[in-house]
Amino acid sequence: MGCSLLLALIGARNLRFPGDLLAAPIEPAARIIHNLGTEQARLLLQHFAAEQNRAYFYLWEQIEIPLGLLLALCLFLATQRRMFPLILSGIMLSMVLLQYMAITPELVFSGRRADFPPLSEAFGAQARMWGLNQVYWGLEISKLVVGVILAGYIFAFRPHRQNRRRTDADDIARPAPLELRDF
């Protein structure tokens, strides 16, 4: 969950990078920007930042799949096969698989079309990309919420121990607590 949040922060920072670079470029970059033109340089830098984000998110999804399988296996073995944590783990894994197999490939395709659109298709490609982006981030937030519920269940849930009958052997094994008047 922490890596997903970190990746979201990196992605947001990457999208601000082109504007920051164009606002105060170093001298060699300023010459290139001047030769290329500010708007063309902005377009290219925005495309580069978007490509970086697409690569990061795709790689993170490839890492999340084995992590989700490992989590499910650990929960299966460690929780006395309780169904609730296994169901939550399965929901999270299915969301990652949906992102990896359906949403991210379409988001990459639509994003590349929206980065350099022909003028007549500009709005349609961007609208599709923003719609897919909302679905992607909705799944990310849902995944985090399910993960928080799962973590809360795992760390807050304590199996109830059966009460045992006290025996004389227990009293011998555990001496009575000292009282203040004993000193």
Q: How confident is the model at residue 176 (pLDDT cuts 50, 70, 90)?
A: low
Question: pLDDT tens across 54-108, in order?
Answer: 999 999 999 999 999 999 999 888 867 788 999 999 999 999 999 999 999 999 9
Q: Is 11 helix (H, G, I), strand (E, B) or coil?
A: helix
pLDDT value at position 161?
Answer: 47
Structure-token pair, residue 63? 């890492």
Number of Cβ within 10 Å of residue 96's Cβ equals 21
Question: pLDDT tens across 98-135, in order?
Answer: 999 999 999 998 888 888 766 556 577 778 888 998 99
Q: Using an 8 Å Cβ cutoff, are 147 and 92 in contact?
A: yes
Give CA 63 to chain center in angstroms.
11
Q: Which amino acid type is present at position 170?
A: D
Q: Using an 8 Å Cβ cutoff, are 52 and 13 in contact?
A: no
Find where tokens 């580069």 sit.
Answer: 48
CA distance 108 to 26: 31
Q: Using an 8 Å Cβ cutoff, are 86 and 68 in contact?
A: no
Structure-token pair, residue 33? 């920007």
pLDDT value at position 159?
Answer: 54
CA distance 135 to 112: 18
**Average pLDDT value for the chain:** 84
Structure-token pair, residue 174? 């555990």
CA distance 55 to 14: 12
